[in-house]
Chain A
Amino acid sequence: ETGVTQTPRHLVMGMTNKKSLKCEQHLGHNAMYWYKQSAKKPLELMFVYNFKEQTENNSVPSRFSPECPNSSHLFLHLHTLQPEDSALYLCASSPDNGGTYGYTFGSGTRLTVV
Chain B
Amino acid sequence: SQQGEEDPQALSIQEGENATMNCSYKTSINNLQWYRQNSGRGLVHLILIRSNEREKHSGRLRVTLDTSKKSSSLLITASRAADTASYFCATRDNAGNMLTFGGGTRLMVKP
The answer to whether A binds B is: yes
Q: Which residues of B contact A105 (CB under 8 A)?
A: 35, 42-45
Among A2, A56, A88, A99, the residue within 8 A (CB) of B44 is A2
Q: Which of A40-48, A61-69, A76-84 contacts B (4 or more CB under 8 A)?
A: A40-48
Tell me the residues in window 32-88 of chain B with beta carbons closer than 8 Å to chain A beta carbons: 33, 35, 40-45, 48, 88
B20 at the interface (CB under 8 A from A): no
Among B31, B33, B42, the residue within 8 A (CB) of A108 is B42
* Chain B residue total in the interface (Cβ 8 A): 23
Q: Which residues of B contact A92 (CB under 8 A)?
A: 42-43
Q: Which residues of B contact A103 (CB under 8 A)?
A: 33, 35, 43, 45, 99
User: In the complex, A102→B99 CA distance in Å?
Assistant: 9
Q: Which residues of B contact A (CB under 8 A)?
A: 2, 30-31, 33, 35, 40-45, 48, 88, 92, 96-104
